[in-house]
Amino acid sequence: MTWTNRLKLWGGILLVAAITFALTLLFNQRQSQVASFTATVDAPVAMVGSSYGGVVTDLRVRPGDAVTAGDPLFTLSSLQLQQDVSHGLNPLSTEAYTIDAESGTITYHAVSNGYVASIDARPGTFLPSGSPMALVVADGERTVTAQFELEPSEYGRVEQGASTRVVLPNNQTVQGTVAGVTVKTNDQGNAITFVTIDSPALTDPALSSLTRLGTPVTVIMDLRDDGWLAGPTEELLAFLTKIGLR
């Protein structure tokens, strides 16, 4: 065998070994990840309600409308308010509603910037006191609640602060971290792991239509890698990230 053939042989062997090692590391990395079977976006919610009920006389918004703090939502005429005023009471306006004692009407306002998720007010309908009248989802903080069905060995490798990837409905991926973990048993007796994900990227205004309350997403969570390949796997992933392949 000539030296040229020997070099080709050893070169081929080294190439196959390198590819095999890389694939082994990638397989190990895949074994250290789990995907949620369901996940949705959570957001802070403000419930609009009052101790005064009445008949809706004016509706200013519809579900899905964007609002800013102080925007009027709807107005109702309240017989209860009129009776209180006639008895000498002086009910005061609040951040959530403005009282017009002379006309006996109450105008409800948004208490934060956001959008109207639901509204029970319809012109001519009666809304009882103490009932939820509208739901406003505030801008800003967004989290994800993901559900996983994990084996005991997998659950033992879930860590606070672990890296996650949130896949949005348009297949765009944003980074997140594990902020909380709880376990509940479903009706079938299976242990379901609920994981809360923090991701500052979800507050990006450009993603507002994809991060509304209840939006379905997919979460891929990293588990702690306890194997002897943990170090080489991290080095390979860092290299792939550096050259733009991950």
Is 152 within 8 Å of 77 (Cβ atoms)?
A: no
The residue among 138, 167, 200 that closes a domain is: 138
Beta strands in 1-153 (DSSP E): 33-35, 38-42, 45-48, 54-59, 66-67, 72-77, 97-100, 105-109, 114-119, 126-127, 134-138, 143-148
Q: Answer yes or no: do 115 and 187 share one domain.
A: no
Looking at the domain assignment, is residue 124 inside a domain? yes
Least confident of 14-23, 181-190, 228-237: 228-237
Domain count, the chain: 2
CATH, residue 204: 2.40.30.170
pLDDT in tens, 88-109: 888 888 888 899 988 999 999 9
The residue among 138, 162, 192 that closes a domain is: 138
Looking at the domain assignment, is residue 7 inside a domain? no
Looking at the domain assignment, is residue 115 inside a domain? yes
CATH, residue 120: 2.40.50.100
**Alpha carbons 80 and 89: distance in angstroms, whole number:** 11
Looking at the domain assignment, is residue 194 inside a domain? yes
pLDDT at position 226: 61
Is 231 within 8 Å of 29 (Cβ atoms)?
A: no
Q: How many CB atoms lie under 10 A from the CB of residue 191?
A: 14
Looking at the domain assignment, is residue 114 inside a domain? yes
Order of strands, sheet of 72-77, starting from the edge strand that comes earlier in the sequence: 97-100, 105-109, 72-77, 54-59, 126-127
Looking at the domain assignment, is residue 76 inside a domain? yes
Q: Answer yes or no: do 165 and 233 share one domain.
A: yes
Go through 140-170 and write b for each residue having 16 or more CB atoms within 10 A of its CB, e for each that does not.
eebbbbbbbebeeebbebbeeebebbbbbee
Looking at the domain assignment, is residue 168 inside a domain? yes
pTM here is: 0.69
pLDDT band at 207 (very low <50, low <70, confident <90, very high): very high
Domain span at residue 205 reads 22-43+141-242
pLDDT at position 157: 83
What is the number of helices (H) and of strands (E) in the chain?
Answer: 4, 16
**Alpha carbons 175 and 195: distance in angstroms, whole number:** 15
